[in-house]
Amino acid sequence: MPRVRTVALAATIAGVLLAVLAVWAAGPWRNGYRVSEHHGEHGDSGAGVPAQAAGAYPGGGASERRITAPVLAPVDENPAGPAPTDAGVQQALMPLLADPLFGGKGKVAVSVVDAVTGRPLFASDADRGATPASTTKITTAVAALAALGPDKRIATRVVAGSEPGTIVLVGGGDPTLSGLDGKAYAGAYSPARLDQLALATADALRAAGVTQVKLQYDTSLYTGPVSHPIGVNDNIAPVVPLMADEGRVDATKTAVPGTRQTDPAGKAADQFAQLLAKQSIAVNGKATAGTAPPAGAPGTPGAELAAVQSPPMAAVVEQMMTASDNDIAEALIRQVALAKGRPASFQGGTEAVRDVLTGLGVNLGQMALNDGSGLNRANKLPPAVLTQLLTLASSPAHPTLRPALTGMPVAGFTGTLTERFDAKGATDAAGLVRAKTGSLTGVSTLAGIVRDKDGRLLAFAFLADQIPGNAEAARTPLDKLAAALADCGCGTAPPAAPPAAPPAVPSGAAAG
Residue closest to 484 by CA, chosen among 88, 123, 114, 106? 88
Q: Is 340 a catalytic residue?
A: no
Catalytic pick among 36, 45, 124, 134: 134
Residue closest to 3 by CA, chosen among 421, 322, 410? 421
Contacts of 483 (CB under 8 A, 6+ apart): 421, 425, 426, 427, 428, 429, 433
In what order do the strands lie in the sheet containing 457-464? 120-124, 108-114, 457-464, 443-451, 433-440
Rounded CA separation 367/444 (Å): 18
Q: Is 36 a catalytic residue?
A: no
Rounded CA separation 391/398 (Å): 10
Residue closest to 175 by CA, chosen among 410, 384, 376, 332? 332
**Read out DSSP for 352-375?**
HHHHHHHHTT---TT-B-S-SSS-
Contact status, residue 237 vs residue 268, Cβ threshold 8 Å = no
Rounded CA separation 36/30 (Å): 10
What element of type H or E holds 114? strand 108-114
| Helices 475-487 and 86-97: angle between axes, nearest 10 degrees | 160
Catalytic pick among 36, 45, 124, 137: 137
Residue closest to 89 by CA, chosen among 117, 118, 113? 113
Rounded CA separation 204/221 (Å): 24
Burial 477-506 (b: 16+ CB within 10 A, else e): bbbbbbbbbbbbbbbeeeeeeeeeeeeeee
485 forms beta bridges with: none
Contact status, residue 290 vs residue 266, Cβ threshold 8 Å = no
Rounded CA separation 44/372 (Å): 26
Query: Can you tell me whether residue 446 is helix, strand or coil?
Result: strand
Q: Is 439 a catalytic residue?
A: no
Rounded CA separation 134/330 (Å): 12
Catalytic pick among 324, 345, 394, 444: 324
Rounded CA separation 150/479 (Å): 30
Rounded CA separation 201/167 (Å): 10
φ, ψ dihedrals at 375, nearest 5°: -70, -25
φ, ψ dihedrals at 16, nearest 5°: -65, -40
DSSP symbol at 107? -
Q: What residues act catalytically?
A: 134, 137, 324
